[in-house]
Structure 1
């Protein structure tokens, strides 16, 4: 295992220091107890890509002590129940820097349709909520009034997850590819879903997570 150099752009920065947002994917195979990390997730944990083989032990070793039990219980739960999950917690990278992350996982199925693991993404978040729910609602509605579907969806994801434009587009593109659905159709569904959530007053971050990961099912 080789820690990533702190001099390489975004590496070695804590979330609250104004560094760029990072998004990366992961996969976890239950029976093999095997993890796969994208290069972005490796860097998020402080390692150069290709220099670490993630294990459950390694994953847990990076959790903030105050969040360790929550994450350990979540991993145990998804192994037993084989279901989707979401988590918000802190990690310590190989350099000791603390990152606030959102992790969202969906069911990973084999060719027979059997759930064999979970897959999803990490979002590197800031330490504080910058936007109150009322401000978020106003901004989401403003975005929806004047942009195309993809631009609207990007803007909404930027507000909900507090990420930059490039990260929002990468998130949309990743979900489009994983769900095998056209990007514009996915964006249209997300915009409709987010508008409905605002109209109904259901503005919890967990609700937005659920809408994002299941939008492709309603867009068929």
Structure 2
């Protein structure tokens, strides 16, 4: 499960992240305490439903989210989206939903599970602080990290700072070096299908599982930035 706000060290401005599960049968939802708080609820005070979640969506994004949900229910694919919602105080949140399919013991798709990533803009100086602290030690690997940022910017339609924060979150969550994670992500882009909406669904799966295919430190099979970009 993602870390809570209380677990985040002072000065660490990673995105606010919470997990969810959605079972297609009966449209049953389960969300973490972080997602409940994003929406303005105390954990355990409400039971999430499709109707409740849609009621929070920004009016301009509600139809889009409904279409994505309908697609997931009819296709058996995961639910992924970039949209806005309003919490109980009327504050607008910009979120990315990154998800993968859930399977039962027989291998049948029963739903989707993943993360809400709140990328609502913070103060510019806070974002710059993250970059100032992190980029110097990553100078030699900047090229492949910039490439990975570019992919996230294209897939999720976000800016460079938000893309860097997502990469940094996955690095910290999986305990994998940022440059190694970025290199593996770039190396596996060729596995994505050519057309939406399957592209985003497969990319979400890649982002959430790429760390599982990175060799242990010291292995001869370590991924390098040059191999990931196809350079000799």
Same fold (TM over 0.5): yes
| Equivalent residue in structure 2 for 1:46, among 40, 48, 51 | 40
| Structure 1 residues 43 and 23: alpha-carbon distance in aligned structure 2, compared to 1, 3 A threshold | same
Instruction: Decide whether the 8 Å contact of 2:181 with 2:210 is kept in 1.
Output: yes
Question: After superposition, what is the alpha-carbon deviation per residue over 1:34-78, rounded to whole angstroms, capped at 9, x for unaligned?
Answer: 100100000000100010100000010000000000000000100
TM-score, scaled to structure 1:
0.62
CA, structure 1 residues 120+141, in 2 after alignment: closer, same or farther (shift >3 Å)?
farther
CA distance in 1, matches of 2:16, 2:93: 11
* 1:37 is aligned to 2:31: yes
CA distance 1:119–1:53, change in 2 (3 Å)? same
Query: Aligned residue for 2:224?
Result: none
TM-score computed with the length of structure 2 as normaliser: 0.59
Counterpart of 2:140 in structure 1 is 145
Q: Where do 5+ consecutive residues of structure 2 fail to align?
A: 7-12, 125-130, 153-159, 190-199, 216-232
Contact residue 160 and residue 208 of structure 1 kept, 8 A: no
**Structure 2 counterpart of 1:161:** 163
The secondary structure found in structure 2 opposite 1:119 is strand
8 Å contact kept, 2:99–2:205? no
Find 2:102's aligned residue among 108, 111, 122.
Answer: 108
> What count of residue pairs does the alignment treat as equivalent?
173
Shift of 1:161: 3.4
Give the RMSD, CA atoms, in angstroms: 4.2
Q: What stretches of structure 1 of length at least 5 have no aligned partner?
A: 1-8, 11-18, 131-135, 177-182, 199-205
Q: Secondary structure at the match of 1:32?
A: helix
| Aligned counterpart in structure 2 of residue 23 of structure 1, from 4, 17, 24 | 17
Q: Is the 8 A contact 1:106 1:119 kept in 2?
A: yes
